[in-house]
């Protein structure tokens, strides 16, 4: 029998050089495969508007294609005489297909947007799944087929199944990390082109090697991969292990993604750690005694999974309390911690394939069959986890179920019955760990002594409502993203988001809120007459929380609004409705998937849904930005809204985009003239028209530089680095804002302030600037300077709530000094309430004073006033 069909292990130096080159090419093939997967997952997330579904659908489609391709390869490889050449051609075809894929998605996207208007959200998700399968199964099929071809190429060489699989997986880990650099440096399109160029290089190199060593690829001898398939029982069991492993991957991305960096970097880092463990397991563990290893693998996997749940609170608390000096240091440190907790599981998962293939007849043949079954099981696991287990059991419960399933299925190859005794023990431990730990355990520093009131989890988000020690309620989405609070000052901040936007339209009759949160911001629209309110919110948990847990502070606004559960991007793509005002809610732009909401494309979608005199207002929290990232967002907004303007409200910046032209003070004053005096006071939050006009910050200047584009993202990659590297400097950013604010005369002309109103406008405008300078001084540790500036600001405009509350804070802190200067405590408190009538600290102090004096009626009056301002105040709700 001739051995020319495969690379011989004999003394032929050319063959030894060839299989080493093949190993390098298959390593690079793994790199391109995972890079494609991450890039295509982002593409589908943008297309679908739902980040988690983009990831899960990409994983499922990939696993289906890989599984079907490898199983087809078992049969087809016997008919292929030049497997290396075919491998090279497949890599080339995948590269060309990846270059065509964006155009295919764009072509299908237009058709899908048309039919989506007639579909429910569930039907839309099903259509997305069909599109993902149609687009991604074909290239993944080619990748799976390559596995069988490469195994045939390296038969009878030192490249065992475990080594080859491990090398490919190490390449996959590198490929998972590659987009984290390329997306910010090159953009999505150029990232795909770069990966495709690597794929084309693999193809050219493979064809070259096939030509040079063609004598080593004669097809005269049957390949060992032509063996019959393993028993169906073994295939189904290993498919179940594949399902469990992908369930773990999906849920670990959710759980550890919440407590670690929580950015676009998380997916790549977790995938890389997961794949490295599998790679090392496949290359190293099968060298030990196989019988012992077969017994220990299921035990190690089950125990490791449960340990990852048990250690989650410790990891979260450690991350919360540690200060990292650099983004790179934070990334590598947290990746190392994650690896230490998950490596026992991933090492075991990696060792199973070569170990089981070696136990069955024909290592290579069995390996291909098992790999195909495992991939198909993984696709099933991804879908089951997303659609069934996470919504019903939560991520923690799904991890526990997956660990038990893998451990139990792994026992299929264990002969000792005593080992099975470990399963009941694992089940008892899993039952204890099945629920998500309380927030105060996960975040012991910032949420100490809090109490969980509500938890809702699905594949979109994990939503908590917690009650803090003072009784105030906080909405958390994905654990560390604070959306809103019931604290009185926070309530006013949220209501202001609606107030400003609606005031800037001369007569708004319809408003759309992109993001609901607690519903408090929408409550700011209540005073505006004849107004139709609509809201789009993706998180079902947030909708439930707004309707129930925050109803006392959002004025039961849910009964007066139409709320649609949908993604903001998807809704704007598919809806034909137009509005007078559209309001973009606050969010953390550095979180995974959020940067697209500040993109040129998203701003254009909002503009397309405005009526003729419509206004779009997008709010930004300035403490989340560095100067360069803020410039990118401002530049992106101005590209869509050439007459864009800026307003400030506290530490929040409002980008105001008129559909046609900015109407200035005339629109606001005309709007208020439609209302009664009481309605005017409520519509402005008691601050008056000129306070709001005094918060004007000028037009967005035209500048050169990058913009935030969905296909060329910037801020989601720059902000995490800036946050850890110290570039997010609030005093510096506020100083930059002051430098670019127009003078009062220029601002008055832009706003078209009448001659008789210039003094009122000037005082409010000046007061706003003094307030910002006071905040800068306070942050920089100059309380005396800050106090003087706040006093001057109050003299300029006593209606500004921010100024009044800041002055009241200073007065309350200096209460002992006031009594030393001849004022009684009662007189000092009365002065505070004169400055800020609803100041919680003064109301509480009066309540305590009257209780101590035995004046129960007066005490009850102040307690009632306190509850009216702060309905959830823990002390005030306690009956004395």
* 651: number of Cβ within 10 Å: 17
Question: Out of 312-316, 370-374, 426-430, 816-820, which region has the weakest mean confidence (pLDDT)?
Answer: 816-820
- The residue with greater pLDDT, 388 or 132, is 388
Question: Out of 171-185, 445-459, 666-680, 774-788, which region has the weakest mean confidence (pLDDT)?
Answer: 171-185
Q: Is the pLDDT of residue 109 over 90?
A: no
Distance (Å, whole) CA 851 – CA 849 = 5
Residue in 622, 833, 601 with CA at minimum distance from that of residue 736? 622
Chain-centre distance of CA 13, in angstroms?
52
Q: Is the pLDDT of residue 177 over 80?
A: yes
What average pLDDT score do residues 123-143 get?
Answer: 82
pLDDT of residue 37: 86
Distance (Å, whole) CA 499 – CA 845 = 31
Cβ 351 vs Cβ 413: under 8 Å:
no
Residue 658's beta-bridge partner residues? Answer: 615
Residue 263 per-residue DSSP state: S
Q: Is the pLDDT of residue 796 over 90?
A: yes
Question: Out of 210-224, 500-514, 611-625, which region has the weakest mean confidence (pLDDT)?
Answer: 210-224
pLDDT of residue 258: 83
Question: Out of 110-119, 371-380, 648-657, which region has the weakest mean confidence (pLDDT)?
Answer: 110-119
Band (pLDDT 50/70/90 cuts) for residue 643 is very high
Q: Is the pLDDT of residue 553 over 50?
A: yes
Give pLDDT tens digits for 136-166: 899 999 999 999 898 888 877 777 788 888 9
pLDDT of residue 6: 46
Tokens of 270: 């977790």
pLDDT of residue 188: 80
pLDDT of residue 54: 65
Place of tokens 């670690």: 260
Q: Is the pLDDT of residue 265 over 80?
A: no
Please state the pTM of the whole predicted model.
0.89
Residue 686: how many CA atoms within 13 Å on its side-chain side?
A: 9
* Beta strands per DSSP E along 527-609: 532-537, 561-565, 579-584
pLDDT of residue 48: 57
pLDDT of residue 367: 85
Strand pairing category for 481-485 and 473-477: antiparallel
What average pLDDT score do residues 591-614 get?
Answer: 90
Most confident stretch, 43-57, 568-582, 629-643: 629-643
What average pLDDT score do residues 752-772 get?
Answer: 96
- The residue with greater pLDDT, 183 or 606, is 606
Give pLDDT tens digits for 204-241: 999 998 887 665 444 444 555 555 678 889 999 999 99
pLDDT of residue 256: 84
């Amino acid at each position: 029998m001739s051995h020319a069909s495969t690379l011989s292990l004999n003394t032929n130096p050319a063959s030894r050089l060839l299989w080493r080159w093949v190993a390098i090419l298959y390593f690079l093939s793994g790199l391109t495969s995972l890079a494609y997967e991450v890039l295509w997952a982002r593409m589908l997330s943008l297309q679908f508007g739902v980040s988690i579904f983009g990831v899960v659908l990409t994983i499922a489609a990939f696993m289906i294609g890989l599984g079907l391709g490898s199983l087809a390869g078992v049969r087809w490889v016997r008919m292929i005489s030049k497997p290396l050449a075919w491998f090279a051609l497949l890599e080339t075809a995948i590269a060309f297909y990846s270059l065509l894929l964006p155009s295919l998605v764009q072509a299908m996207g237009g058709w899908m947007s048309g039919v989506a208007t007639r579909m429910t959200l569930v039907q839309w998700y099903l259509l997305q799944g069909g599109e993902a399968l149609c687009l991604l199964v074909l290239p993944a099929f080619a990748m799976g087929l390559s596995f069988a071809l490469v195994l045939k190429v390296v038969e009878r060489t030192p490249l065992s199944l475990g080594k080859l699989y491990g090398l490919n997986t190490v390449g996959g880990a590198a490929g998972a990390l590659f987009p984290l650099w390329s997306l910010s440096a090159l953009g999505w399109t150029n990232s795909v082109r770069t990966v495709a160029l690597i794929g084309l290089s693999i193809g050219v190199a493979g064809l070259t090697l096939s030509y040079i060593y063609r004598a080593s690829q004669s097809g005269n001898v049957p390949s060992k991969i032509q063996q019959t398939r393993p028993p169906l029982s073994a295939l189904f069991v290993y498919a179940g292990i594949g399902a469990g492993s992908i369930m773990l991957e999906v849920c670990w991305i959710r759980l550890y993604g919440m407590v670690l960096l929580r950015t676009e970097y998380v997916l790549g880092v977790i995938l890389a750690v997961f794949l490295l463990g599998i790679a090392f397991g496949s290359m190293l563990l099968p060298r030990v005694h196989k019988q012992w290893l077969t017994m220990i693998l299921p035990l190690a996997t089950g125990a490791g999974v449960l340990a990852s749940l048990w250690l989650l609170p410790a990891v979260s608390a450690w991350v919360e309390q540690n200060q990292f000096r650099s983004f790179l240091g934070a990334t590598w440190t947290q990746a190392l911690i994650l690896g230490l907790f998950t490596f026992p599981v991933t090492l075991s998962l990696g060792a199973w394939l070569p170990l089981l293939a070696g136990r069955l007849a024909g290592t290579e043949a069995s390996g291909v069959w098992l790999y195909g079954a495992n991939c198909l099981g993984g696709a099933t696991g991804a879908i089951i986890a997303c659609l069934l287990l996470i919504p019903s059991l939560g991520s923690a419960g799904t991890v526990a179920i997956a660990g038990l399933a893998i451990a139990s299925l792994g026992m299929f190859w264990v002969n000792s019955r005593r080992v099975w005794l470990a399963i009941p023990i694992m089940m008892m431990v899993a039952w204890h760990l099945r629920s998500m730990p309380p927030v105060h355990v996960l975040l012991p520093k910032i949420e100490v002594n809090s109490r969980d009131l509500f938890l809702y989890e699905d594949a979109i988000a994990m939503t908590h409502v917690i009650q803090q020690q003072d009784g105030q309620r906080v909405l958390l989405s994905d654990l560390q993203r604070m959306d809103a609070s019931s604290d009185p000052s926070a309530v006013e901040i949220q209501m202001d988001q609606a107030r400003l936007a609606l005031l800037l339209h001369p007569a708004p009759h319809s408003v759309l809120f992109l993001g609901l949160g607690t519903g408090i911001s929408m409550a700011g629209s209540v005073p505006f007459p004849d107004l139709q309110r609509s809201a789009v919110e993706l998180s079902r948990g947030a909708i439930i929380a707004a309707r129930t847990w925050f109803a006392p502070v959002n004025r039961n606004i849910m009964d007066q609004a139409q709320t649609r559960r949908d993604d903001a991007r998807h809704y704007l793509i598919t809806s034909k409705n137009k509005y007078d005002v559209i309001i973009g809610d606050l969010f953390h732009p550095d979180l995974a998937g959020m940067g697209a909401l500040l993109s040129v494309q998203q701003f254009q979608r909002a503009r397309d849904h405005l009526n003729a005199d419509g206004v779009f207002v997008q709010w930004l929290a300035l403490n989340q930005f560095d100067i360069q990232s803020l410039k990118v967002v401002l530049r992106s907004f101005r590209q869509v809204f050439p007459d864009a303007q800026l307003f400030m409200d506290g530490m929040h910046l409002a980008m105001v985009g008129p559909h046609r032209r900015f109407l200035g003070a005339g629109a606001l004053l005309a709007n208020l003239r439609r209302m009664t005096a009481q309605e005017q006071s409520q519509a402005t939050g008691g601050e008056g028209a000129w306070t709001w006009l005094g918060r004007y910050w000028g037009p967005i200047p035209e500048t050169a530089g990058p913009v935030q584009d969905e296909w060329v993202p910037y801020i989601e990659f720059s902000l995490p680095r800036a946050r850890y590297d110290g570039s997010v400097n609030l005093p510096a950013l506020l100083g930059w804002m002051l430098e670019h604010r127009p003078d009062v005369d220029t601002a008055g002309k832009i706003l078209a302030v009448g001659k008789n109103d210039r003094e009122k406008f000037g005082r409010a405008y000046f007061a706003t600037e003094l307030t910002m300078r006071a905040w800068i001084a306070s942050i920089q540790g100059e309380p005396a300077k800050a106090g003087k500036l706040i006093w001057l600001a109050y003299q300029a405009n006593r209606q500004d709530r921010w100024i009044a509350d800041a002055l009241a804070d200073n007065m309350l802190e200096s209460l002992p000094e006031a009594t030393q200067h001849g004022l009684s405590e009662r007189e000092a408190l009365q002065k505070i309430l004169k400055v800020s009538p609803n100041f919680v600290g003064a109301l509480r102090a009066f309540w305590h004073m009257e209780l101590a004096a035995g004046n129960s009626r007066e005490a009850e009056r102040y307690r009632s006033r306190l509850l009216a301002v702060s309905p959830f105040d823990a002390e005030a709700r306690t009956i004395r």
